Amino acid sequence: MSWARAVVRATCPESAGAVRLVLEVDGWSGHVAGQHVDLRLTAEDGYTAWRSYSIASAPQQPLVSLVVQGVDGGEVSPYLISDVQEGDVLELRGPIGGHFVWRAALGGPVQLIAGGSGVVPFLSMLEHHRLAGSDAEVRLLYALRNPQDVLGTGVLGQVGPRVQVTYAYSRSAPPGWQGPTGRLDAGVLAEHVCGPAAAPQTFVCGPTGFVEAVAGALVQLGHVPTSIKTERYGDAA
């Protein structure tokens, strides 16, 4: 598969440290929620760097959105956040991935567990769920440091009755917060995710350490390893 031209149609802040890039991709064949793309940047002298980004938009939407969280000292994310403007052309390969995906036809129950920017593929799944009018039961447990770091407020604010979103704050919680705080250990998971008896399809996405700790705890709680799909972003995410 070759690299396609992607024209930046809009860039907008998604949180204090993250930006949403809306792309029009030449010859885009459509995608499945959960897939990602590889973005390639090329300097004047021919040097190239590429990074993977999950697709945030739903398959039903005409343009492809990515949400990029800035990583201090990073080579690519600070550029995407501060320098990319509407009208710029990037190169993209995708959609990629046939494993970490969910379509309405797969039904539920579905348990999504995100750490930080690992929520991005779930924004696509939830928007797809809404636009498809799916009646699958979906739960999202979204771990983030601080309330102001939340990504995807648009999508998360208009989920239907079959979808339940739970936030867990590891650093600071909103005043009067009664929900989970701290790390997602087996105790927090037992209380806030679909138990193994409901046989959910579970998706875990985020920094490598987060994904491995959560997946390990889920197995400890009796979830079948093959029912858990993971996507590790590396530890810089």
Ligand X SMILES: Cc1cc2nc3c(=O)[nH]c(=O)nc-3n(C[C@H](O)[C@H](O)[C@H](O)COP(=O)(O)OP(=O)(O)OC[C@H]3O[C@@H](n4cnc5c(N)ncnc54)[C@H](O)[C@@H]3O)c2cc1C
Query: What is the closest distance, in whole angstroms, from the C-beta atom of residue 159 to other proteins in the complex?
Result: 25
Query: What is the closest distance, in whole angstroms, from the C-beta atom of residue 230 to other proteins in the complex?
Result: 6
**213: how many CB neighbours lie within 10 A of its CB?**
19
Amino acid identity of residue 119, one-letter, is V
* 135 in contact with ligand X (CB under 6 A): no
- Member of 27, 62, 73, 157 binding ligand X (CB under 6 A): 73
Query: What is the closest distance, in whole angstroms, from the C-beta atom of residue 209 to other proteins in the complex?
Result: 8
Tell how far CA 92 is from the center of its chain.
Answer: 18
Of all helices (H) and strands (E), which one includes residue 45?
A: none
Stretch that binds other proteins, among 72-80, 128-136, 156-164, 165-173 (CB under 8 A): 72-80
Of all helices (H) and strands (E), which one includes residue 143?
A: strand 138-144
Q: What are phi and psi of 98, to 5 degrees?
A: -130, 10
- Exposed, middle or buried: residue 96 (CB in 10 Å: 0-12, 13-18, 19+)? middle
* 195 in contact with ligand X (CB under 6 A): no
Residues in 74-93 at the binding interface with ligand X, rule: CB under 6 A: 74-77
Which residue number, 69 or 180, has a Cβ lying nearer to ligand X? Answer: 69
CA-derived radius of gyration, the chain = 17
* 71 in contact with other proteins (CB under 8 A): yes
Rounded-to-10 torsion of CA 102, 105, 106, 108: 100
- Member of 6, 23, 71, 211 binding ligand X (CB under 6 A): 71
Residues in 90-129 at the binding interface with other proteins, rule: CB under 8 A: 90-91, 93-94, 96-100
* 101 in contact with ligand X (CB under 6 A): no
